[in-house]
């Protein structure tokens, strides 16, 4: 893996349509690339980073005792499952939704008049818990569960227990035809609010000395429950609506986890180095993995604290 300096990083960022790339060491910003002021001031869609935010909200519900057990079947919240002719649907749990292992066929629910009904109406094609399928339907069911349990909208619950503690006050969150906030891809956030979410992960649930969510949930959420891809460098996996990366190369043994949205939106967390990075982009599909490749190049330069310090000072 080649090494890359901050000066080289900026050249790479300017060569493709990356709009912002900021890096934190602890709570200190050590690098910043901003294409223009508009990137900072205007909320924009973070797409599937929405999923990771919904995971945090489920964790808050668990901590507050509103959800007693993530291994409980979701039929407790969706009685229509009881009417299903497929007994395997009765096996689907909140844990399966979090880890995208519900086994439900992935369908284009966005074009339907009732998203939840459409998602639950899909046939089971894998035994629940057995197979990872990237599926925004599972994430949307989590949002529906939050609304059912709390008695308020998912966004209202988020405002009370997550957004307000983080100081997030300018966002948009689209709803489905029944008024349920989209769990998979529907939030628009400002860059600095993405940073706040990233710092919350980095500090294991703390923000400005306030424990917003338990560190235990963060530890569980960032654990890979299913492997999704293996390369010669390492293994990618999936936790609770979060992607994971475990490096198997003995020369570059730095693991990280991340929230990811289409077109190049990222929140990277590197616990070993106490590093967090946020990327906002407007990339074509064939380029949207570029920020992750660039970030991995950086990690190749930061094998220990001394090398990281040298990079910061150079």
Considering just the CA atoms, what is the radius of gyration of the chain in Å?
Answer: 19
Laid out side by side, the sheet with 226-230 consists of: 28-34, 18-25, 275-281, 265-270, 256-261, 243-247, 234-238, 226-230
Q: For the chain, what is the mean pLDDT?
A: 93
The secondary structure of 36-83, three-state, reads CHHHHHCCEECCCHHHHHHHHHHHHHHHCCCCCCCCCEHHHCCHHHHH
Task: Answer whether 6-44+191-313 and 49-173 agree in fold.
Answer: yes
- 58 by Cβ neighbours in 10 Å (0-12 / 13-18 / 19+) ranks as buried
Rounded CA-CA distance 260/264 in Å is 7
Give the mean model confidence (pLDDT) for residues 49-60: 98
pLDDT, position 57: 98
CATH class of 6-44+191-313: alpha beta
Element (H, E) at 116: helix 115-120
Is residue 313's pLDDT more than 50? Answer: no
pLDDT, position 303: 65
Q: pLDDT of 195-229, one tens digit each?
A: 999 999 999 999 999 999 999 999 999 999 999 99
Residue indicated by tokens 């000066």: 7
Query: Would you say the pTM of this structure is higher than 0.85?
Result: yes
Is residue 308's pLDDT more than 80? Answer: no
Percent of the chain residues topping a pLDDT of 70: 94
10 Cβ contact partners less than 8 Å away, ≥ 6 residues apart: 33
pLDDT, position 304: 54
Res. 3 pLDDT band, cuts 50 70 90: low
Question: 306-314 long-range contacts, Cβ below 8 Å, gap at least 24?
Answer: 308/25, 308/273, 308/275, 311/5, 311/6, 312/6, 312/25, 312/30, 314/5, 314/6
**49-173: CATH topology:** Beta-lactamase (3.40.710)
Q: Which three-class secondary structure state does DSSP give residue 230?
A: strand
Is residue 56's pLDDT more than 90? Answer: yes
Is residue 268's pLDDT more than 60? Answer: yes
pLDDT, position 254: 84
Q: pLDDT of 157-166, one tens digit each?
A: 999 999 999 9
Is residue 38's pLDDT more than 50? Answer: yes
**Contact call for residues 236 and 227 (beta carbons, < 8 A):** yes
Rounded CA-CA distance 185/167 in Å is 21
**Contact call for residues 197 and 53 (beta carbons, < 8 A):** yes
Percent of the chain residues topping a pLDDT of 90: 79
pLDDT, position 1: 35
Where are the chain's structural domains?
6-44+191-313, 49-173
pLDDT, position 285: 84
Tokens standing for 206?
């703390």
Res. 314 pLDDT band, cuts 50 70 90: very low
Q: pLDDT of 85-131, one tens digit each?
A: 899 999 999 999 999 999 999 999 999 999 999 999 999 999 999 99
Tokens standing for 171?
């966002």
Rounded CA-CA distance 247/302 in Å is 14
Give the mean model confidence (pLDDT) for residues 266-283: 96
pLDDT, position 220: 98
pLDDT, position 251: 62
Is residue 252's pLDDT more than 80? Answer: no
pLDDT, position 135: 95
């Amino acid at each position: 893996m080649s090494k890359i300096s901050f000066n080289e990083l900026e050249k790479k960022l300017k060569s493709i349509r990356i709009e912002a790339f900021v890096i934190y060491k602890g709570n200190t910003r050590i690098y910043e690339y901003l294409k223009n002021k508009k990137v900072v001031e205007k909320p924009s869609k973070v797409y599937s980073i929405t999923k990771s935010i919904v995971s945090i909200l489920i964790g808050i519900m668990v901590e507050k005792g509103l959800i007693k057990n993530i291994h409980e079947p979701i039929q407790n919240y969706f009685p229509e499952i009881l009417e299903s002719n497929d007994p395997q649907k009765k096996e689907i749990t909140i844990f399966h939704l979090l880890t995208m292992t519900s086994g439900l066929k992935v369908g284009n629910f966005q074009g339907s008049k009732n998203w939840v009904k459409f998602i639950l109406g899909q046939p089971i094609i894998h035994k629940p818990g057995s197979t990872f399928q990237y599926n925004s339907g599972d994430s949307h069911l989590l949002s529906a569960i939050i609304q059912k349990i709390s008695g308020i909208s998912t966004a209202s619950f988020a405002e009370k227990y997550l957004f307000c503690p983080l100081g997030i006050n300018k966002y948009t969150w689209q709803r489905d035809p029944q008024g349920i906030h989209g769990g998979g891809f529907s939030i628009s956030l400002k860059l600095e609010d993405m940073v706040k979410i990233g710092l919350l992960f980095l500090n294991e649930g703390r923000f400005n000395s306030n424990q917003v969510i338990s560190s235990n949930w963060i530890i569980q959420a960032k654990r890979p429950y299913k492997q999704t891809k293996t390369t010669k460098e390492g293994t990618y996996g999936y936790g609770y609506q979060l992607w994971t990366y475990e490096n198997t190369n003995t020369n570059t043994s730095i693991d990280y986890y991340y929230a990811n949205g289409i077109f190049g939106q990222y929140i990277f967390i590197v616990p070993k180095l106490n590093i967090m990075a946020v990327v906002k982009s407007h990339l074509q599909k064939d380029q949207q993995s570029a920020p992750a490749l660039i970030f991995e190049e950086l990690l190749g330069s930061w094998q220990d604290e001394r090398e990281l310090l040298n990079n910061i000072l150079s």
